[in-house]
Structure 1
């Protein structure tokens, strides 16, 4: 059997199982089995596959038919040009989250030297796989002191794994939000759980049945972690320090309101590639708090 025939056969299995984006999934899975890029695979379509390759792709597709995400099947996900390891107990990095890293880097590029010559400190809170903080550190070439924090054992283990595989100079802290955090930061970035509890059963099967609810559930109104982080972060931000969040598409006004109530200023919303509200940035000015 040729690659073309095998992929056609396995693609039909994905379609019959109502797998979303089946065409792109079969390409991704076949690329892993063939060990090459898709452009190279196209040139090999008339080649015969080995029995081992056919069995491996068939097994991948069988897993995918259960709606298990390809990122968990293959164990990796590209983010900001870096290949991150994934784990089933940890949220998969999303393309829209790259906007959070891009905005954090944009802000950092405008930083001037501190009066005392210290390095800037950056905290990635609720770090999950570590994709935000590690990417920021890599893109900034280690100019800042970056710390990544999460409550989950699995997230901490995966972040450490990604730190090593990408050779990032970051500290990793296991903590329930700020409980084990010390000192002040120039920037806090966070992609906290923000799905309303009653919305989780309505999510697509790939998310609902396979991704960790601990990383999704933002409690009844989806704002629990924003409210808590915004209030507590005031003790951990330097004067004029920045806070950046990823948000749900309908949460901009609510998160902006929480920021205003707690003395933050220069609040800005940023839309994602689909034109939906996705990122919020703000500065904390203690002198403005009444």
Structure 2
């Protein structure tokens, strides 16, 4: 069992709202991420998408590729179409040694629409989740045969957002479909990361660590804000800077022999939340939590 800590470049440049951090070069993200204490990065909008180009860049910074987001469309595409669409991304991850792929069904999603309240997000029936799950399992079987496991990312503003929907997806998918627990998204959606981890410990293959500021979360829910407006108001922060119980979660990860990445993915406005300051705080807090809970952290 071994744990590594990584970070998503959202700390510096935002994929859902590209104007945030638009002028920040990739070189700054990688240099500061390494300086903060991380061993790897997930992909972001400024990353080259061919292994021949990206590999040497990461190597020069002594960083590994952790994973990267794929926008799934299985509600509208066939298994064959999805597998064809996923090829370049799968090739990049596989070639550069990433073991998991962050996957999210994005059909009709609204998390990138600043003028759309989260209450307007798409919802589908259990029958539709079951149909999607059957196809997702086939795609995941294919990816796993290539050495990369799908880690399904429940996400605000999408068809799989709530704890109930996560449980339905797990019910209707096979073991090749791994689960990404995002502490911030699950808590925002009213779920309990501790319950989900305990129930699906054998399916959890990736963990996104973002915390929540309680008063800003309460305000976002009271005013039914869009995902982007909630983010701009500062609802998210790095682990240990909010109210989520990371100590208990990490104890559970230790008990279940979790092996993989813990990734800081704290979506904030970099003009307000200084990236290097918050990246360093996130890394320091993760390291302290790993030491406290005896998770075997390696570089």
Q: Please indicate the TM-score interval, normalised by the length of the shorter structure.
A: 0.3 to 0.5
- Structure showing greater relative contact order (alpha-carbon pairs closer than 8 Å, 6 or more residues apart): 2
TM-score, normalised to structure 1, is 0.33
Structure of larger gyration radius: 1
TM-score, normalised to structure 2, is 0.32
